[in-house]
């Protein structure tokens, strides 16, 4: 086991985050967890709208905010005011990284585009997250995750044949785009450290981030003319992998699509005939008999409780698992043993938030504090860039910060 070191991987990296809601802030949260000094710039008084989204605590603050806003320093600047934009420009001029997720062209209109920092801060890594990217015929369109997930082709594949395309009950496109942005920033930082590149723009589009998850869908279309269709709880071309109802009304997921695993699965459900059938020994043959195989498995699970199904298949070394809700996750000993939950102090008391992955052996990330109040670090941060207390107070009075 490696010995932990005192510094996190991104210690000493200064990040200015001017995005709102989810994609940009999630990228900032990832970087802050691993040591970056992330300064979140928000509108005065109201802050990021996500502070008031979904379920709120007794203070009127989103529970989600305490997780998404963690580890950052919070300052305010009225970007509709020239003085506010000048403040932001000063902050960016001394930063290693900028994260913004405004509509393309907004930062340029404010005199804060990449070219405006080419001479001032040539090593700046300028990360931009938008619905459709900074170029192309759709770049000027507004793009929330819901719409861009559909445009990416992802939504088309979700749901059951002939049914309405389904969305997961999450802002998946935003989170995936945030992951891509953090990855792009890490690559750019590495390139700069190795002197392979100066500062550069990291251009992340929500729809492209989702399209990046589409596996072999494009080459299959181009090579074979095949348009993959929605497949419900299965996945096209791989058998058996499905969700099955048990006697107690609970569902389990079974993945028996490996050749040796399939044989063990058939023996576990007392179908020696299917286990020994040479036509089912590999996936192409099983694909032809998908309905037969699924019916055999479903018949067995429907006669047994989910607990018995899981126990039997785990004994046979077949991948199987329950479908968890968040209460199940929170109570599961494996989650707890892996350290997936961290506790933060909030004005309403201690609150569990998810740890951020991946786990690093020598330099693991950490949650130092929960998402805080709007403008909490105005005095601290603006003093660092040379403003006096009187200047800061005057800007507060004028509504600049």
Domain boundaries, the chain: 14-213+338-398, 241-245+251-322
pLDDT category of residue 2 using cuts at 50, 70 and 90: very low
Task: Read off the pLDDT of residues 205-257 as tens digits, 9 standing for 90 and up.
Answer: 999 999 999 999 999 999 999 999 999 999 999 999 999 999 999 999 999 99
CB neighbour class for 250 (10 Å; exposed up to 12, middle 13-18, buried from 19): middle
- Report helix, strand and coil shares of the chain as percent, to nearest 5: 40, 15, 45
Task: Read off the pLDDT of residues 255-280 as tens digits, 9 standing for 90 and up.
Answer: 999 999 999 999 999 999 999 999 99
Residue 5 pLDDT more than 80? no
Q: What pLDDT shows up at residue 4?
A: 52
Average pLDDT in the 65-75 region? Answer: 98
Q: Report CA-CA distances (Å) from 174 to 69, 111, 143, 154, 201.
A: 15, 26, 10, 13, 19
Q: How many CA atoms lie within 13 A of 121 on its CB side?
A: 21
With both helix axes pointing from N to C terminus, report the angle between 290-302 and 306-315 in degrees, rounded to the nearest 10.
Answer: 120
CB neighbour class for 214 (10 Å; exposed up to 12, middle 13-18, buried from 19): middle
Asked if 362 contacts 3 with a C-beta cutoff of 8 angstroms, the reply is yes
State the average pLDDT for the chain: 96
Give the strand pairing for 73-76 and 37-42. parallel
Residue 359, SS3 per DSSP: coil
Q: What are phi and psi of 200, to 5 degrees?
A: -160, 170
Percent of the chain with pLDDT over 70: 99
Residue 300, SS3 per DSSP: helix
Q: What are phi and psi of 286, to 5 degrees?
A: -65, -30
Q: What pLDDT shows up at residue 1?
A: 35
The structure's pTM equals: 0.94
Nearest to 401 by CA among 91, 92, 45, 99: 45
pLDDT category of residue 19 using cuts at 50, 70 and 90: confident
Q: Annotate 332-344 with b (16+ C-beta within 10 A) or e (fewer).
A: eeebeeeebebeb
Using CA atoms of 324, 322, 164, 240 in order, give the dihedral in degrees to the nearest 10: 150
Taking the C-alpha atoms of residue 366 and residue 360, their distance in angstroms, rounded to an integer, is 11
Taking the C-alpha atoms of residue 162 and residue 274, their distance in angstroms, rounded to an integer, is 31
Active site residue 81: no
Residue 3 pLDDT more than 50? no
Neighbours of 219 (CB within 10 A): 11
Task: Read off the pLDDT of residues 305-362 as tens digits, 9 standing for 90 and up.
Answer: 999 999 999 999 999 999 999 999 999 999 999 999 999 999 999 999 999 999 999 9
Nearest to 213 by CA among 262, 268, 173: 173
Q: Report CA-CA distances (Å) from 123 to 17, 37, 96, 170, 195.
A: 17, 17, 7, 35, 11
Q: Which of 48, 174, 203, 294 is catalytic?
A: 174
CATH for the stretch 14-213+338-398: 3.40.50.10540
Taking the C-alpha atoms of residue 286 and residue 261, their distance in angstroms, rounded to an integer, is 13
Give the strand pairing for 349-354 and 341-346. antiparallel
CATH for the stretch 241-245+251-322: 3.30.1540.10
Length of the chain in terms of residues written: 401
Residue that the structure tokens 């109040």 belong to:
373
């Amino acid at each position: 086991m490696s010995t932990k070191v005192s510094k996190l991987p991104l210690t000493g990296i200064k990040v200015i985050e001017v995005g709102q809601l989810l994609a940009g802030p999630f990228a900032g949260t990832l970087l802050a967890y691993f040591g970056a000094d992330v300064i979140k710039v928000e509108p005065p008084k109201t802050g990021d709208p996500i502070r008031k989204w979904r379920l709120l605590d007794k203070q009127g603050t989103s529970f989600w905010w305490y997780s998404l806003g963690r580890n950052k320093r919070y300052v305010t600047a009225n970007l509709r005011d020239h003085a506010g934009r000048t403040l932001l420009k000063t902050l960016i001029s001394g930063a290693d990284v900028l994260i913004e997720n405004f509509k393309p062209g907004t930062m340029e209109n404010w005199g804060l585009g990449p070219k405006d920092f080419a001479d001032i801060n040539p090593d700046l890594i300028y990360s931009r997250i938008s619905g459709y990217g900074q170029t192309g015929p759709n770049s000027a369109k507004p793009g929330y995750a819901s719409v861009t997930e559909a445009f990416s082709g992802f939504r088309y594949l979700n749901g059951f044949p002939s049914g309405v395309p389904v969305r997961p009950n999450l802002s998946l496109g935003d989170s995936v785009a945030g992951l891509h942005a953090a990855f792009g920033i890490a690559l750019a930082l590495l390139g700069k450290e190795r002197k392979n590149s100066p500062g550069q723009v990291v251009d992340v589009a929500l729809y492209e981030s989702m399209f990046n998850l589409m596996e072999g869908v494009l080459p299959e279309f181009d090579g074979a003319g095949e348009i993959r269709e929605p497949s419900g709880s299965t996945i096209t071309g791989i058998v058996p992998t499905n969700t099955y109802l048990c006697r107690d009304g609970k569902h389990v997921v079974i993945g028996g699509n490996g050749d040796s695993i399939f044989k063990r699965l058939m023996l576990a459900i007392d179908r020696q005939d299917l286990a020994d059938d040479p036509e089912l020994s590999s996936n192409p043959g099983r694909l032809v008999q998908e309905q037969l195989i699924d019916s055999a498995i479903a018949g067995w699970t429907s006669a047994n409780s989910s607990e018995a199904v899981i126990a039997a298949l785990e004994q046979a070394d077949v991948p199987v698992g329950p479908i968890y809700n968040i209460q199940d996750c929170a109570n599961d000993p494996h989650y707890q043993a892996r350290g997936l939950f961290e506790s933060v102090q909030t004005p309403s008391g201690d609150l569990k938030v998810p740890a951020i992955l991946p786990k690093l052996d020598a330099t693991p990330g950490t949650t130092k504090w929960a998402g805080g109040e709007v403008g909490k670090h105005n005095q601290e941060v603006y003093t660092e860039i040379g403003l006096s207390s009187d200047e800061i107070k005057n800007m507060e009075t004028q509504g600049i910060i």
